Chain A
């Protein structure tokens, strides 16, 4: 029942905040958002499941109740977590709380609606990561978009309407494509419910039947392609990434934090759950694996090069997300324990580090009202703590050992290098490693020009230090990043445990 309580309390909190007066909304939302944090940490402490939830593993905190029966299928309220989803649940709750804290300074209109929508989004995100019935999952999945649309569209920057609509249209069309792809599978399986474990089991038992002239193999390929495209938009990978910089740049800082930190992980999480767990036989076809690995490497390199070309600090971080998500895809397609494990770990690590980077840029923007690299220099002089954390976060991004990013990328590289699924895996892995060099290039360049050197910023006011409540979330995120880097086993053991069955199906090894 704790999952229901977690989701229910968050919805309730959203409603309360929505109806509260603007002056108190921020503080109230922060206080209420601590409840899900406590709940998710409690779940983490008491976690005792093993194996993969979709592949006959035991499911922690499971509830399964029939919702409705129609057209021969049972729809269920079916939630639970395993080693893959629990870390993402923890990430969502922690990041939402910190994002709410970081919103105190920049959000100065319609506060109760803003914080209400943030909590509403959190509730739906928790649903996405815990739902084990396709319909339930899809309802939550789509329900995340609605608050995001308003959060960008109402509180965003000058081109917010364009960015919000672009985000909404892109991700909705992607959802539709994915939905059709998945449904074409389900309708041709002898299952009587939309429960993901049942569907996975039936697919892997080879029970798929023909559909309008497509034999099962072709149908699987078509469904795989549709779902991959659908999720790729969300991730996003090149060439489906164009909505991302617009959305990020226009979104207010706390919303960017959520977007990069958690929403992108919805895409990679879904890829892992659907494409790579349910249809491993398609993913491991040499041609498919080559295409996906190539897409991953292109995302890594191209995303990083786009970041290199930007002057806007926020855009730099946004494009570097495309690059980081490319590593996740590479790790997933590797189909080794370390590869998929590293990819899953990278989801959490990137959630923390990109959240940190966006927040730090936001704090600087709150003070300077500019994000352009050329407009300021020597910020370290005025905001030593913020800049210190930003630099530490950037090094985390570059993969400094003992930080979460290093662990994740190291796992991914090692896993991908040993992959038997990707043809000429070492080549792809080596190519993707150049991404790190470019990342180091643009981050160092941008930091050197804005943070160090002689202080220069044209303003008509005194540049002051940031508020405590602006810097505190940064510090928390940095601590989390270091903690995960020093002791990856906080999450990695449970992840590896849940990933092992996925890898075992294709015989991918450690």
Chain B
């Protein structure tokens, strides 16, 4: 059998998913310079969607062709090993591209009649490029640069509604916490560099495993600080407190983007940096750190979510809770267990990408209609918009981990992976949290279907694109139940291949 086309192509083409995103971002700027008044929003959204879908298609195509995977010669390292393309890279790039496509489609309606649309779309695509690079980063310097590349457009996007004080305040808070954690992250990198003399993850691994030139303590402090940087990006304790403000104040599609794609990007980077950069059993037991963080993050996120009165804020805290679940991937990581739990965590992030994006896009729909933000304001919506409410019900039940939806399997495999790795108590905390979460998720369902509308309101015209994005996300969430096999198998194979 002839080698697949993917393997014949020059190695740099393995970066095609990221290149597609950045080129689309640039094209959008060119379009904006020709037509600075956003004369045709459909063109802008169309270009953005096409770019995201191209990136998704390329990532899927490369993944299917085995690029960077063991059966075609293993990971492809580029630019002096600064970047690496393997199964994990492509898996996450496919996830980012899917979320980006959904967000861009939904934004077409959300941005109706607003200014600076071209800038909005290009910022989204630049941030997505940063995320795609985060998934490919193989050195601490690229890790830092790509993280900043993803963050800086995000700050601007959060405060996109610049005449809305909430949006501006959210952007400022996000920026300040982000700047602080970037500083912590950079300082951590410099300590690791001081102890190991290299920024390349493979070299760092070697040196740390060999005793870190007697500077294990310095490296340990550095690693803790690096973990702080990831905690910010993934909205985990202790750098989580920007998330509720930012998600609540930001335009809802941006909240969807940040809480799904940006969070997953943080995990993509964290998985690679910790697993391939910092050896376990060399005096630095970072697994313990993540165990504490996972338990605290999921518990705090869940309890805070249960006390919210606004749907968007509840979703923000629930997204912190889900960061806690995903952290199990690192918290239950053992070299002996291999990529099982790590892969389960990746699969959870994939499912989460659809269900959480969908939920925030439903909030975007509600904001577009101009109904309020609290649970009461959503009362009786099922009478007006049954299809969207069915979709939202799917998202809520799936987020809660009820069996008929994709979220059940992803959570189950995550917890089962933790049990298999010997961390049954971690799974137990997760399961209890997950059961509690049904309480606040079902509040939304109750409001939509069981309550009667509290006030008369007109929904106005149906925003077609936004509707389509919500429904598509719901269909994906349902289909990820029967189709979960492909996701988990790909994820676990990719995770196993990453192990040094």
Given known contacts A154-B450, A161-B451, A71 and B435 CB-to-CB distance under 8 angstroms: no
CB < 8 Å neighbour of A150 from B404, B435, B449, B488: B449
Given known contacts A173-B435, A176-B435, A187-B419, A69 and B450 CB-to-CB distance under 8 angstroms: no
Alpha-carbon distance between A390 and B451 when the two chains are bound, in angstroms: 35
Q: For chain A residues 47-78, which have a beta carbon within 8 Å of chain B?
A: 67-72, 75
Are A172's CB and B340's CB within 8 A? no
Are B446's CB and A165's CB within 8 A? yes
Determine whether B122 belongs to the interface, using a CB cutoff of 8 Å to chain A: no
Give a binary string over B69-91; 1 marks a CB under 8 Å from any A CB, 0 the rest. 00000000000000000000000
Are B484's CB and A146's CB within 8 A? no
Give a binary string over B403-427; 1 marks a CB under 8 Å from any A CB, 0 the rest. 1100010000100110110001000
- Taking CB atoms, residues of chain B closer than 8 Å to A146 are 397, 402, 404
- Taking CB atoms, residues of chain B closer than 8 Å to A165 are 442, 446
Are A67's CB and B424's CB within 8 A? no
Given known contacts A68-B488, A70-B488, A212-B424, A139 and B449 CB-to-CB distance under 8 angstroms: no
Q: How large is the interface on B (under 10, 10 to 19, 20 to 34, 35 or more residues)?
A: 20 to 34
Alpha-carbon distance between A164 and B175 when the two chains are bound, in angstroms: 44
Q: Which residue of B lies closest to A177 (CB)?
A: B435
Q: For chain A residues 137-152, which have a beta carbon within 8 Å of chain B?
A: 138-139, 141-143, 145-146, 150
- Taking CB atoms, residues of chain B closer than 8 Å to A72 are 420
CB < 8 Å neighbour of B481 from A139, A145, A172: A139
Are B488's CB and A172's CB within 8 A? no
B interface: dominant SS: helix
Are B404's CB and A71's CB within 8 A? no
Q: Nearest-CB distance from A59 to chain B (Å)?
A: 22
Give a binary string over A334-373; 1 marks a CB under 8 Å from any B CB, 0 the rest. 0000000000000000000000000000000000000000
Given known contacts A146-B402, A161-B451, A68 and B484 CB-to-CB distance under 8 angstroms: yes
Alpha-carbon distance between A145 and B446 when the two chains are bound, in angstroms: 14
Alpha-carbon distance between A172 and B424 when the two chains are bound, in angstroms: 21
Give a binary string over A218-237; 1 marks a CB under 8 Å from any B CB, 0 the rest. 00000000000000000000
Determine whether A160 belongs to the interface, using a CB cutoff of 8 Å to chain B: yes
- Taking CB atoms, residues of chain B closer than 8 Å to A138 are 403
Alpha-carbon distance between A67 and B485 when the two chains are bound, in angstroms: 7
Q: Which residue of B lies closest to A142 (CB)?
A: B403
Q: For chain A residues 160-187, which have a beta carbon within 8 Å of chain B?
A: 160-161, 164-165, 168-169, 172-173, 176, 180, 183, 187
- Taking CB atoms, residues of chain B closer than 8 Å to A415 are none
Determine whether B164 belongs to the interface, using a CB cutoff of 8 Å to chain A: no
Q: Nearest-CB distance from B493 to chain A (Å)?
A: 11
Number of interface residues of A (CB under 8 A): 31
CB < 8 Å neighbour of B413 from A71, A161, A164, A172: A71
Determine whether A267 belongs to the interface, using a CB cutoff of 8 Å to chain B: no
Given known contacts A165-B442, A165-B446, A142 and B485 CB-to-CB distance under 8 angstroms: no
Alpha-carbon distance between A164 and B445 when the two chains are bound, in angstroms: 12
Determine whether B489 belongs to the interface, using a CB cutoff of 8 Å to chain A: yes
Are A70's CB and B446's CB within 8 A? no
Alpha-carbon distance between A187 and B488 when the two chains are bound, in angstroms: 19
Tell which of A68, A154, A176 has the most Cβ of chain B within 10 Å: A68
- Taking CB atoms, residues of chain A closer than 8 Å to B488 are 68, 70
Determine whether B438 belongs to the interface, using a CB cutoff of 8 Å to chain A: yes
Given known contacts A142-B404, A161-B451, A183-B416, A70 and B492 CB-to-CB distance under 8 angstroms: yes
A sample of 4 more A-B contacts (CB under 8 A), given A68-B489, A70-B413, A161-B446, is A70-B344, A70-B489, A71-B340, A142-B404
Query: What would be 16 A-B contacts, judged by CB atoms less than 8 Å apart?
Result: A68-B489, A69-B485, A69-B489, A70-B413, A70-B488, A71-B420, A113-B386, A138-B403, A139-B404, A141-B403, A142-B404, A146-B402, A153-B446, A176-B431, A187-B416, A212-B424
Q: Mark B residues whose CB is within 8 Å of A.
A: 340, 344, 386, 397, 402-404, 408, 413, 416-417, 419-420, 424, 431, 435, 438-439, 442, 446, 449-451, 481-482, 484-486, 488-489, 492
Q: Mark A residues whose CB is within 8 Å of B.
A: 67-72, 75, 113, 138-139, 141-143, 145-146, 150, 153-154, 160-161, 164-165, 168-169, 172-173, 176, 180, 183, 187, 212
- Closest CB pairs A-B (n = 9): A68-B485, A142-B403, A143-B404, A153-B450, A70-B488, A139-B403, A161-B450, A176-B435, A71-B416
